[in-house]
Amino acid sequence: MNYKIALFFFSISLGVSAQRPFLQKDTMRRSGINKTNELNPIVVTGSGTHQRLKNTITPVTVINANDIRQTGTTDFMQVMQQTVPGLSFLPNSMGSYLMLNGLSNKYVLILVNGKKLIGDISNNIDLGRLDLSRVKRIEVLNGAGSSLYGSDAIAGVINIITADPQDELSLTSSSRFSGKGIFTQTANLDIVKGKWGSSTSFKHDEADSWQNSPYEQVTENGATTLRETLYPLSVGYHSNMLNQKFTFKPNERLSTYLSGNYYWKLTDRPRARKDVTGGYNYDLHYESWRFEGGGVYKFSPKASLQLDLTADDYDQHHRYTVESGKYQPGDYTFTKNQRFYDAELRGILHFYDQSTTVFGLDARDDQLKASSGNIEGSASTLSAYAQHETPIVGGLKAVAGLRFDHHEQAGSHLSPKLALMQSVGDFRFRATYAHGFIAPQLNELYYKYYNDNGGRVPSVIIGNEHLKPGKSNYLSVSTEWRTRRVSAGVTGYLNFLDQMITRQSYTITDEVKAWALQHLEVTQAQVDRMTRFSRYVNFDRAIVRGFQTDVTARLPLGFSLTGGYNFAYSRGKLSGEWQNIERSMRHTATLSANYAHRWLHYGLSVNLNGRLQSKRYYPGEEAAPGYGLWNLNTRHSFTPFIWVDADFSLGVDNIFNRKDMRPYGLNRSLLSPGRMLVFGLTLKFKNPSKS
């Protein structure tokens, strides 16, 4: 704990902060200006241009910075699960398995400021690369609802938008502690001088490994028994991340930026033992570098040209912790490298009043290198798109878009989009059709993966170079009522998918065993223990039918209520037989009640939030049961000092101590260790001369 305290004080010793006067902020809170804007924020993901939420033709869900603060957490997964009912996560040692509206994370495009984020591990997303301390808002677009995005966006788009430096000099330090050794420390330093701006952020994360059950279920000689295991339900880790961004605005027409990101993570798995299964000889080590640069040139207030360049490099290694064959403790071995390069040129024009045209060219290259199976492959994509938004008559507006993608392996595809919105007073009626496609990922084409699973039944995953690209036809209709204090909406959607890519399990054959000996680094003894293998295949077709509702009310006396419900019926047809899509759920709901008030130099915020989730389906296996999870968070803000504002948070996660106590491998429902006390501290240093 001593180094955590040292890390905290180091992060707050970097500088001082210049904040806006407290009186001005308090006046805005009392006047209700912020509350009004929270119900009608600026969004960009659906249209590609900045618009008020109620005016955007493509429906978008928004989680703003205040919503994030109210949850009392800095973890991306927790924030999204508490605020977006259609989104769910299953974190594990191989990343975080994400699902949106009945489809898995390979169909979800995750963007940071509009640019794709990589770092998937066996089709799981490493969300540790996301730092919420600088997030302005998070926008969620359902389905293939925009022609601005190509492959990977069939289920939807999640766009994390960060804030640029605004103050002349500011420093914020935030710490969060909870059970199971969970500790997060962030520090942000902003400097603005004339035409130049700089933002620096640091994030440290760590957690212990933990179990809910010390047993696993095994079947030997036809008998099923329980045996002791070390396998953790959640794998411990520690990580560090550093972000640096420079901005330069030489005049009112031109603004440029250059940014870099370094990320380092090491798991902390239990060590191998001879008397108990579930230990490991090595930890997983991840390291990445990401660079971005570009700028915007405004020809006029209504015409601009934007260039963005991105280079992302993500590595995975094994770091041995005990002697294993030729490897000694401390040795590193390469396992996987992903690289992503992207250049996008986008223009925005207004040919006539209230119309907006977005057009763009995009060139990207994905690369994969893996030691398992000696894989080295790449795939390039060239794209062109255009989207035009225009009023038609009265309150009727339309968006029409078309995207052309040429993928090196999947060929050429046209993706049209058409959306309509009718405004009648405070009501909005929307309808959308969009076509999308998803190219096979490199690991799905070329993977040759083997995992011994600590002496249990080995995992074998084989790629398929004959995969076809998946296609989607997405339809949605929605109704929304939005006033100054209340918003409510309901959206129904259908997502028809052809040639959807999935992983199918088969009984091992002598032919596959011979193939494994030739192509994988395995022994005859390991091959003899193989009973099943998985291969990537195309579903004949799949259909997701669903609807979602949401209500937000800003009540008098500082109270507010938010609720959302999502129904998704996800089915896929394989070899003539319909089945539930793996890990899909039918029903999810989120509820939140908040109270906020300020007395001179003290502010109080109380947030109670819950997530209700039905059972999760696993074809051919028992479904994981549903659950209800409730959290309570209180924030206490103190502003009596001329040089620092202090914000304390105290809360309880999992109030009713819900846990899945089934043996390892079967406990795939609620991944929580139970009730935990959570404490947080945020310090914002101020320039006394400006207070």
SS (H, E, C) 103-129: EEHHHEEEEECCEECCCEECCEECHHH
d(CA 12, CA 28): 28
Residues 685 and 245: their CA atoms lie apart, in Å, by 21
- Cα(124)–Cα(92) distance, integer angstroms: 9
If pLDDT is split at 50, 70 and 90, which confidence band does 526 have?
Answer: confident
**Are the C-beta atoms of residues 537 and 484 closer than 8 Å to each other?**
no
Q: Provide, rounded to the nearest whole percent, the portion of the chain with pLDDT above 90.
A: 47
The mean per-residue pLDDT over the stretch 440-468 comes to 77
Q: Is the pLDDT of residue 119 over 90?
A: no
Taking residues 439-467, what's their average pLDDT? 77
At 308 the pLDDT is 96
pLDDT of 223-264, one tens digit each? Answer: 888 999 998 988 999 999 999 999 999 999 999 999 999 999
Nearest to 191 by CA among 166, 159, 227: 166
In the block, tokens 């495009």 appear at 109
Which of 377-381, 400-404, 497-501, 520-524 has the least mean pLDDT?
520-524
CA-wise closest residue to 178 among 609, 611, 659, 675? 675
Answer whether residue 35 shows pLDDT above 60: no
Contacts of 219 (CB under 8 A, 6+ apart): 225
> Which tens digit of pLDDT belongs to each residue from 305-340?
999 999 999 999 999 999 888 899 999 999 889 999
Among 96-100, 120-124, 304-308, 531-535, name the one with the lowest average pLDDT.
120-124
Rg (CA), the chain: 25
| Average pLDDT value for the chain | 85
Q: How confident is the model at residue 69 (pLDDT cuts 50, 70, 90)?
A: confident
Residue 89 reports pLDDT greater than 90: no
Mean pLDDT value of segment 562-579: 89
Residue type, 379: A
Report the relative pairing of strands 532-538 and 459-462 from DSSP bridges. parallel
**What pLDDT sits at residue 15?**
34
Instruction: Collapse the DSSP code of 34 into the 3-class scheme (helix H, G, I; strand E, B; otherwise coil) and give the result.
Output: helix
CA atoms of 586 and 567, how far apart (whole Å): 5
Mean pLDDT of 397-412: 90
Strands of the sheet containing 108-112, edge to edge, are: 60-64, 135-142, 156-162, 108-112, 115-116
Distance CA 595, CA 680 (A): 19
**Residue 24 pLDDT level (bands cut at 50, 70, 90):** very low
pLDDT at 123 exceeding the cut of 50? yes
Check residue 664 and report its DSSP letter: B
Least-confidence region, from 28-37, 470-479, 607-616: 28-37
Residue 675 pLDDT > 90: yes
The pLDDT of residue 687 is: 64
The tens digit of pLDDT for each residue in 603-642 reads 999 999 999 999 999 877 888 999 999 999 999 999 888 7
Range scoring the smallest mean pLDDT among 87-96, 161-170, 255-264, 335-344: 87-96
**For residue 53, what is the DSSP state?**
G
- The predicted structure's pLDDT at residue 438: 84
122 or 551, higher pLDDT = 551
Once rounded to an integer, what is the mean pLDDT over residues 557-565? 95
Query: What is the mean pLDDT of the segment spanning 137-156?
Result: 80
Higher pLDDT, 536 or 286: 286
Q: Among the listed ranges 75-89, 245-259, 379-393, which one has the minimum average pLDDT value?
A: 75-89
Query: pLDDT band for position 527 (50/70/90)?
Result: confident
Produce one character per residue of 564-594: b if its CB has 16 or more CB atoms within 10 Å, e if not.
Answer: bbbbbebbbebeeeebbbbbbbbebbbbbeb
Q: Which pLDDT value is given to residue 95?
A: 62
Closest of 187, 181, 79 to residue 682, by C-alpha: 187
Spatial distance between the Cα atoms of 312 and 365, rounded to a whole number of angstroms: 11
Candidate ranges 55-69, 135-149, 344-358, 506-520; pick with highest mean pLDDT: 344-358
Whether the pLDDT of residue 146 is over 80: the answer is: no
Least confident range of 40-54, 277-291, 587-601: 40-54
Mean local confidence (pLDDT), 174-185: 94
Q: What is the pLDDT of residue 19?
A: 34
pLDDT of residue 18: 31
> How confident is the model at residue 13, as a pLDDT?
41
Domains and CATH numbers, the chain: 2-690 (2.40.170.20)
Closest Cα to residue 495, out of 564, 534, 543? Answer: 543
CA atoms within 13 A on the CB side of 387: 28
120 or 646: whose pLDDT is higher?
Answer: 646
